[in-house]
Amino acid sequence: MQKNNTVRGHDGENRAALFLENKGMAIIARNIRSKTGEIDLVVQDHDTVVFVEVKNWSVYEFEDLQYSINWKKQQRIIETAQNFLAAHHEYATWSSRFDVIFIGAGTINHIVSAFSDEERYGDN
């Protein structure tokens, strides 16, 4: 079962990467891991570094998938992105954003700026 999930996950990430490349984006990195979490894809969209979470679940409806990326998951992605940026100074002057791609049986839904770190660091 774990192997099937891993294969399906890689297939989804490959489909997402191809989708983004077809939109003119460049893949910077895949499967970034740190002590805080993992990011599926890091891509360049002009002068923006985009951290992409890919969800490849054929069993669930689109509305159900949105709930799979809860606040805690978002925070892990944000912290991992910060670690990535700290290690890659070449992106220091770029803007950044967090996208989510949901992959279904025959569909790809790309949510641009699905969440941000503004809630965490913004003015209160």
The verdict on residue 43 lying in a domain is yes
> For residue 27, is pLDDT > 80?
yes
Longest dimension (CA), the chain: 45
Secondary structure element (H or E) that encloses residue 2, with its range: helix 2-22
Contact 116, 97 (CB under 8 A): yes
Mean pLDDT score of the chain, rounded to an integer? 85
Count the domains in the chain.
1
Closest by alpha carbon to 75, among 34, 36, 33, 29?
36
- Burial grade of 50 (CB within 10 A; 0-12, 13-18, 19 or more): buried
The verdict on residue 121 lying in a domain is no
Q: What is the CATH number of the domain that holds 46?
A: 3.40.1350.10
The verdict on residue 96 lying in a domain is yes
DSSP tag of 105: S
Q: What is the rounded CA–CA span in Å between residue 7 and residue 2? A: 9
Q: What is the rounded CA–CA span in Å between residue 103 and residue 54? A: 7
The verdict on residue 109 lying in a domain is yes
Average pLDDT over residues 2-15: 65
pLDDT recorded at residue 61: 60
> For residue 53, is pLDDT > 50?
yes
The verdict on residue 112 lying in a domain is yes
The verdict on residue 88 lying in a domain is yes
The whole model's pTM is what?
A: 0.85
Comparison of pLDDT for 2 and 37, the residue scoring more: 37
The verdict on residue 124 lying in a domain is no
pLDDT recorded at residue 66: 62
Neighbours of 67 (CB within 10 A): 8
Q: Which domain holds residue 48?
A: 2-116
